[in-house]
Amino acid sequence: MTPARTICRVVAALAALVAGAKFVSFDPPPARPNIVLVIGDDHGWPYYGFMESPETVATSSGRVPVARVVQTPNLDRLAARGVVFTRGYATASLCLPSLQTLLSASGLHPGQWAERRRRLSSGLARGVPYSQQSRFYRTLPRELARYGYRSWEGGKMWEGAFDDAGFSDGTAKVANPINLGPDGQYFGREGWDPELCGSTRREDATLLCPALEPLREFLDGNRSSPFFLWVAPLLPHNPFNAPPPYRKAYRDLGIGERQVAYLANVRWFDELFGELVAELQRRRNGRDTLLIYVSDNGWSLDGRRVRGKGSQYDLGMRTPIIFSGLPGMVPARHDEAVSTSDIAATIIGYVGGARAPAGSRGRDLRRRIEGGRPVSRGVLVAEHGEAAIAVQLPWKYLRRKDGVEELYRIDRDPLERRSLAAEHPAVLAELRHSVDLYEETLFEPPADIEVVGRLLDERDVPMADVDLIFRTHDFERMATTDSGGWFALRGLPPQAGVLTAVAGVRELRWPGAPTLHPSFELTSVYLELRGVAEPPDAAD
């Protein structure tokens, strides 16, 4: 065969391969994509159309797979065109600690978050008010603000008012850890009208869903900066008061009222998600937006809390995690175990020039999202409340505080109905060791410290080009504030020190502390400082 004929055959084969393949854009994503994090609330992993769940539900026609009953068409479409990690694990099976991980730029596990609050409180004269503790953390919106992002919080965020957590705008306006009601947590529920929202709306393109008005106000006022949206609409969480059109479809199937109430809220959440996607598509936000979906914890459709929310079984801890929207992503379903602590690391990985905070708990999943090798982390471990888990597929280990151990083959037994602990002592011992090691190292003091902060004057105006110096008895490190007042001090020793300004600022104040000596044994500390400028002649 001649070389020319060989080349022609190779070209023809490649053409046929391309013609039959899914088109994937390998254009690079934007350096600073918009980021939208959508958080379901109590959305159990079996209750999506796109998840392969063995769970069944009793109907008037007999028991049928729950995937044939649940209605999530908008999330199903996202999963079909996105990258789905089917076996994501929350760091806790309750909302408040789970949301702390998602809010933290380091992907902190709940125990780490609580320990840092305790240490910070010991370094402040009046302690850290629980409802305002996030003022002292390197949160995801703060980390993104350093790179020019504006951020908006909508719905559930149990760490005080939106600005306590570093959001530039938001709906949570009261510093209260259980901040429900008209002061912020019901975004998406408030103003929902089935005649104007979702699939049951009147066919009039000029009509806008009133439930999204707070978000539209933010987007309308933010034409030039990349944005980060935290969308956590307290759904399908109770109260189970979905509008009648969403309840009727399930009642007609003859399923129990408890199941009707929950699945109708699932449908309501999916309708709201569809409205959000439509709003983003209606604007300029197409190929420049990273859209992420995750649930804060799980749920059991039969209402058994011992297996669902609040437990360390998969019905309480497992969640799909979906990434979509950017060039270079390779649509796929991946079954390796990943953690919700990976979400912050992945977001930061998509921001050009950004680096994850020291001590970050998460893995940047970007390479896997773009078609790379499976995530290799050995064993995924999480601990909260009354038990700890270790996942090393196909095995799942669970240890209660009373010492009882359970072991499951979750590929064959995804609902964890039969423990195999007695039958596989070697596997049990290996995963027990993984949990022991996790518990030993979770609170280990770091080798060096990283502090990020912002210097503002008494009118909250950023103070730029100010040299700051951190000193201990035998160490010095200097940083200069940028145009936004941001500074970063890296490689500090794990010991108390003093932070002062070299020139131009007469006084530095750390709100809540009489002197500047924060607990520098913590990694990823955030300091918002107030500066009192020297008079111009004194600075000269």
Whichever domain contains 504, its CATH number is 2.60.40.10
Please indicate, yes or no, if residue 531 is contained in any of the structural domains: yes
Q: What is the CB neighbour count within 10 angstroms for residue 394?
A: 13
Q: Are residues 307 and 323 in the same domain?
A: yes
User: Is residue 453 located within the same domain as residue 333?
Assistant: no
Domain count, the chain: 3
Which residues touch 522 (CB under 8 Å, ≥6 apart)? Answer: 116, 119, 120, 449
pLDDT value of position 127: 63
Q: List, for the chain, all residue ranges whose pLDDT scores fall below the cut of 70.
A: 1-27, 122-130, 174-184, 285-287, 303-305, 511-524, 536-540
Q: Does 10 reside within a domain?
A: no
pLDDT at 500: 86
CATH of the domain at 386: 3.30.1120.10
As a whole number of angstroms, the distance between CA 463 and CA 482 comes to: 8
For helices 73-81 and 257-282, what crossing angle results, to 10°?
50
Q: How far is CA 111 from CA 108, 128, 176, in A?
A: 8, 17, 21
- Look up the domain containing 260 and give its range: 34-369
Contact between residue 374 and residue 368 where contact means Cβ atoms under 8 Å apart: yes
Beta bridge partners of 500: 469
Instruction: Give the pLDDT score at 393.
Output: 95
Do residues 134 and 266 share a domain? yes
Q: In this structure, are 96 and 171 located in the same domain?
A: yes
477 within 8 A of 469, measured Cβ to Cβ: yes
Q: What is the pLDDT of residue 337?
A: 96
Phi/psi zone of residue 332: left (φ > 0), alpha (ψ -120 to 50 degrees), beta? beta
Of 318, 342, 369, the last residue of a domain is: 369
Give the pLDDT confidence score for residue 47 in this predicted structure.
96
Residue 493: the pLDDT is 83
Sorted by sequence, the CB contacts under 8 Å of residue 321 that are 6+ apart come out as 84, 85, 88, 292, 293, 294, 338, 340, 342, 343
Residue 163 belongs to a domain: yes
Helix axes 95-103, 341-349, angle to 10 degrees: 20
**What's the token pair of residue 3?**
């070389």
Residues 509 and 387 in one domain: no
384 in Cβ contact with 94 (< 8 Å)? yes
Q: Kindly state whether residues 57 and 183 are assigned to the same domain.
A: yes
Whether 8 maps to a domain, the answer reads no
- Residue 12 forms part of a structural domain: no
Given 369, 400, 416, the domain boundary residue is: 369
Q: Write out the two tokens for 262.
A: 């929950």
Q: Are residues 286 and 138 in the same domain?
A: yes
Query: Helices 257-282 and 213-220 meet at what angle, rounded to 10?
Result: 20
**What number of helices (H) and strands (E) belong to the chain?**
13, 22
Which pair of structure tokens corresponds to residue 402? Answer: 């009373």
The pLDDT assigned to 289 comes to: 94
- Contacting residues for 75 by C-beta, under 8 A, at least 6 apart: 48, 49, 50, 270, 273, 293, 322
- Within-domain flag for 324: yes
Residue 280 lies in a domain: yes
In a domain, residue 458? The reply is: yes
What pLDDT is recorded for position 349?
A: 95
- Identity of the residue numbered 273: F
Please name the residues in contact with 11: beta carbons below 8 A apart, sequence gap of 6 or more. none
Return the pLDDT at 237: 94
Predicted TM-score (pTM) of this structure: 0.90
So what's the pLDDT on residue 169?
94
Residue labelled with tokens 């990823």: 524
What's the maximum distance between 2 C-alpha atoms anywhere in the chain? 87
CB 149 within 8 A of CB 32: yes
**Same-domain pairing of 411 and 317:** no
Token representation of residue 444 = 């280990």
How would you classify the pairing of strands 498-501 and 505-509? unpaired
- Residues 322 and 470 both lie in one domain: no
Domain boundary among 389, 411, 441: 441
Pairing of strands 505-509, 62-65: unpaired
The alpha carbon of residue 198 and the mean position of all alpha carbons in its chain are separated, in whole angstroms, by 25
Which residue, 475, 476, 453, is CA-closest to 531?
453
Helix (H, G, I), strand (E, B) or coil at 399: strand
Tell me the pLDDT tens digit for each residue of 453-468.
999 998 889 999 999 9
Query: Taking the CB of residue 376, how many other CB atoms lie within 10 A of it?
Result: 8
Q: What pLDDT was estimated at residue 533?
A: 83
Place of tokens 């009261």: 174
CATH number assigned to the domain comprising residue 237:
3.40.720.10
The pLDDT of residue 416 is 95
Q: Looking at the structure, tell me whether residues 345 and 398 fall in a common domain.
A: no
Same domain, 139 and 223: yes
* 3-state SS, residue 338: strand
**pLDDT value at position 444?**
79
For 248: left if phi > 0, alpha if psi spans -120 to 50, otherwise beta; the answer is: alpha
SS3 (DSSP) at 128: coil
Cα-Cα-Cα-Cα dihedral sign, residues 346, 173, 91, 296: negative
Based on the domain organization, do 135 and 188 belong to the same domain? yes
